[in-house]
Every structure is written in structure tokens, then in C-alpha cells.
Amino acid sequence: AQSVTQLDSQVPVFEEAPVELRCNYSSSVSVYLFWYVQYPNQGLQLLLKYLSGSTLVKGINGFEAEFNKSQTSFHLRKPSVHISDTAEYFCAVSALTGGGNKLTFGTGTQLKVEL
């Protein structure tokens, strides 16, 4: 089984400042890693994913994440945030095999960008 920990439930940040949203996972097998964003009363939109290869993954809206196998982390970063980035961010993992495509989500981090 897999588990995901997002330690920060809320992250306030000023506009144009950098931000990092933390994600750690636990799994006995290799995993795929995802970051999703959810705006109020909407479904989830994929920001980026790590499947294999380069550990630095670039996604939409200027976000990027780095897979660190030794630290079992997949932190999300953006060098300069905008007001429009205010949303809920979910980290998720899926087992490469045997998981039946299931995603295991973290509890989410609310990013609040202030002027």
C-alpha cells in the first residue's frame, strides 16, 4: 500500500514570491507521482507527473517538481506565484504494478497568494 503526506495544510505567500509545497510518500513498490490543482467547486487538473527519467519535472503554469527517491519526496515549486495560483494542491501516487490504476492522495495544501 502507498501513503502520501502533505505536511502543510496551508501556505500563505505574497505575489511574485517563490513557493514550495512539500510532499512525501511511502511505498514498498515503485510509483508514479502526480501533482493536481483544484480550484473552488471544480474537479482536479493535472499540473505535472513523474513517470521515469529526469527527476526534475516541469508542468503547466510555471510549476515544477523534483523526485527524490532517497528522501521519498516530490516537492512542488514555483519561482514566482500569481494571485491566480490560489487553489488547493494535491500530491498523489500510484503503484507501477498491482495497483489497478488507483491513486492515493495526500490531504492537500491550500496555497493562498496575497498582494
Binding site for other proteins (CB under 8 A): 32, 34, 36, 41-46, 49, 51, 90, 94-96, 99-103, 105-108, 110
Q: How far is the CB of 103 from other proteins (least distance, A)?
A: 6
Whether 74 contacts 50, CB under 8 Å: yes
Alpha-carbon span 84 to 80, nearest angstrom: 12
* Pick 15 or 32: Cβ nearer other proteins: 32
* Pick 40 or 115: Cβ nearer other proteins: 40
**Rounded to 10 degrees, what is the CA torsion of 68, 73, 74, 80?**
-100
Q: How far is the CB of 87 from other proteins (least distance, A)?
A: 13
Q: How far is the CB of 6 from other proteins (least distance, A)?
A: 9
DSSP 8-state class, residue 71? T
State the CB neighbour count (10 A cutoff) for residue 25. Answer: 20
Could you write out the DSSP letters of every residue in 74-94?
A: EEEEESS--GGG-EEEEEEEE
* Pick 63 or 108: Cβ nearer other proteins: 108
* Pick 42 or 84: Cβ nearer other proteins: 42
Q: How far is the CB of 24 from other proteins (least distance, A)?
A: 15
